[in-house]
């Protein structure tokens, strides 16, 4: 005999026992005789109730009915409910076993409740059935929109990437029941960002949607993409969540450097020393960072040996400098061809990274230079018996400048304190002022000064080494006075003693 029943729309029936017959006992028959033992059956028939969440009605929400075969409709049986939410969230009509929910419930807060029920005799309070446990499970509705793990995502992808290159993955979740229906079945779509990017509807992976020619950082670097996640498998009526993805195209070396002008002109004084700067040339590169680093070389021209070029690593400019002495009078101008290239090349874009050339014209400026002697030093010879006024030799210096200023000569008296020599101021002839004696000084070293007439501050010096030539002007002389002694009987030819 089935004694207690939980009835609901989605009720699954289970085994039941007779609540009034205890298992394993012998009971007396009505005639006083002894009944044989029989298997006791439980009086509850139960499994679980289903209740839809988010009920919005004004009355209590009906869940189902608990019934017992001990209830004969005479008002003696009382239904008693206990467990989670009993008396507050859930109430039972103690007379007929009707079970209700008293308020609106949210499955995402609590998905199920475990309750217990029994029947008792109203008069005696005695349990007529053993207490039985059952579950009220909330039936999910689509009341939660998808939420992304971030409000704003940041991603990057190299420019010139192939179609379908992965950029970033976005992820959304839905608090609804993923085991029931499609309330938590999400589909991703892109609402802003076409036609540059696409999103995988199932995984949320964002990929490039255009080819390398269209994804050019130099044309556009930043993109804002809006991704939607829609539940109900994307069907109409589903709820939607959105997120923003900021995508940056990172640089690749797909642009060669270019000079800002094709011809440069500089001027440099001829007096500039080796390493002196001549000028700077500039090239631009649309790439950034290491992809924009460049170096310069002198490719050709008549000034290849006279000038160098290096790269300023801070400004990325080419710095031209003097490498060898310049002479305006010999060559007043030079022309060189300068080449610029990136330091790091991407093999994929070698055809785009062509060499770029510029012409540099360098004018040498004339500088007022001091007179230039025709020799670095002079060696002159003079006999020691030469008369005063005798010519010793001559020096020659000219103004190397184009003006060819006249030159006058003089002796640096600090090198001829005794005023032994003089020089003709006009022609550079050196002559003797005093008689000389080789035996007193065989060499005389003096310095001749050449000075410009028009600019006395422009002068130069040349050393003159004068060697006196010996003449036979000294008789032999004994080193000392000798005394000798001879005996009176010494024979002819006999050696005598002396001291």
pLDDT at position 12 over 60: no
CA dihedral 172, 175, 179, 184 (to 10 degrees): -40
- State the total domains in the chain: 4
Mean pLDDT computed over 15-40: 35
Among candidate residues 250, 277, 301, the one where a domain is terminated: 250
pLDDT at position 232 over 90: no
* Residue 283 lies inside a defined structural domain of this protein: yes
pLDDT at position 33 over 70: no
* Residue 134 lies inside a defined structural domain of this protein: yes
For residues 360 and 280, state if they share a domain: yes
Among candidate residues 228, 250, 272, the one where a domain is terminated: 250
For residues 134 and 151, state if they share a domain: no
Per-residue pLDDT, 200: 97
Say how far apart CA 486 and CA 469 lie, in whole Å.
Answer: 45
For residues 84 and 47, state if they share a domain: yes
* Residue 474 lies inside a defined structural domain of this protein: no
Q: Go through 222-234 and write b for each residue having 16 or more CB atoms within 10 A of its CB, e for each that does not.
A: ebebebbbbbbeb
Say how far apart CA 463 and CA 348 lie, in whole Å.
Answer: 67
For residues 109 and 203, state if they share a domain: no
* Residue 480 lies inside a defined structural domain of this protein: no
For residues 276 and 234, state if they share a domain: no
Among candidate residues 233, 250, 267, the one where a domain is terminated: 250
CATH number for the domain including 266?
Answer: 2.60.40.60
* Residue 192 lies inside a defined structural domain of this protein: yes
Domain with 102 in it: 4-139
The tokens for 302 are: 């008549």
* Residue 202 lies inside a defined structural domain of this protein: yes
* Residue 493 lies inside a defined structural domain of this protein: no
pTM: 0.58
* Residue 296 lies inside a defined structural domain of this protein: yes
For residues 8 and 100, state if they share a domain: yes
Instruction: Please provide residue 348's backbone torsions phi and psi, each rounded to the nearest 5 degrees.
Output: -70, -20
For residues 123 and 15, state if they share a domain: yes
The least confident of 28-32, 320-324, 449-453 is 28-32
């Amino acid at each position: 005999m089935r004694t207690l029943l939980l009835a609901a729309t989605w009720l699954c029936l289970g085994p039941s026992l007779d609540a009034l017959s205890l298992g394993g006992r012998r009971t007396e028959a009505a005639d006083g005789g002894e009944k044989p033992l029989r298997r006791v059956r439980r009086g509850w028939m139960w499994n679980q109730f289903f209740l839809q969440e988010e009920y919005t009605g004004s009355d209590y929400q009906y869940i189902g009915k608990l019934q017992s075969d001990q209830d004969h409709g005479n008002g003696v049986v009382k239904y008693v409910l206990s467990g989670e939410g009993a008396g507050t969230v859930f109430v039972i009509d103690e007379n007929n076993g009707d079970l209700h929910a008293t308020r609106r419930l949210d499955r995402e807060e609590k998905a199920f409740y475990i309750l217990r029920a029994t029947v008792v005799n109203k008069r005696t309070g005695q349990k007529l059935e053993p207490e039985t446990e059952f579950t009220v499970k909330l039936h999910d509705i689509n009341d939660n929109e998808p939420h992304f793990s971030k409000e704003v995502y940041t991603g990057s992808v190299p420019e010139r990437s192939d179609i379908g290159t992965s950029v970033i993955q976005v992820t959304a979740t839905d608090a609804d029941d993923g085991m029931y229906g499609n309330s938590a079945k999400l589909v991703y779509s892109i609402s802003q960002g076409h036609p540059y990017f696409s999103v995988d509807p199932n995984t949320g992976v964002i990929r490039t949607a255009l080819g390398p020619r269209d994804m050019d950082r130099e044309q556009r670097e930043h993109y804002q993409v809006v991704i939607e996640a829609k539940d109900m498998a994307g069907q109409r009526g589903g709820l939607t969540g959105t997120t923003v993805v900021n995508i940056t195209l990172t640089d690749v070396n797909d642009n060669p450097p270019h000079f800002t002008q094709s011809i440069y002109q500089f001027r440099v004084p001829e007096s500039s020393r080796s390493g002196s700067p001549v000028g700077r040339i500039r090239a631009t590169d649309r790439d950034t960072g290491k992809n924009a680093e460049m170096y310069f070389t002198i490719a050709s021209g008549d000034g290849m040996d006279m000038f160098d070029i290096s790269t300023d690593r801070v400004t990325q400019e080419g710095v031209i400098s003097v490498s060898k002495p310049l002479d305006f009078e010999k060559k007043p101008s030079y022309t060189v061809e300068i080449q610029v290239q990136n330091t790091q090349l991407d093999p994929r874009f070698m055809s785009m990274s062509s060499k770029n050339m510029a012409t540099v014209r360098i004018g040498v400026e004339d500088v007022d230079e001091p007179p230039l002697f025709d020799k670095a030093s002079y060696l002159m010879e003079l006999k020691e018996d030469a008369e005063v006024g005798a010519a010793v030799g001559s020096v020659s210096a000219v103004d190397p400048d184009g003006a060819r200023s006249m030159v006058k000569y003089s002796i640096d008296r600090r090198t001829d304190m005794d005023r032994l020599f003089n020089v003709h101021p006009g022609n550079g002839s050196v002559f003797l002022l005093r008689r000389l004696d080789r035996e007193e000084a065989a060499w005389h070293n003096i310095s001749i000064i050449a000075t410009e007439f028009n600019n006395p501050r422009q002068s130069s010096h040349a050393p003159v080494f004068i060697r006196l030539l010996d003449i036979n002007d000294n008789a032999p002389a004994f080193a000392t006075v000798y005394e000798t002694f001879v005996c009176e009987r010494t024979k002819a030819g006999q050696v005598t003693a002396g001291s």
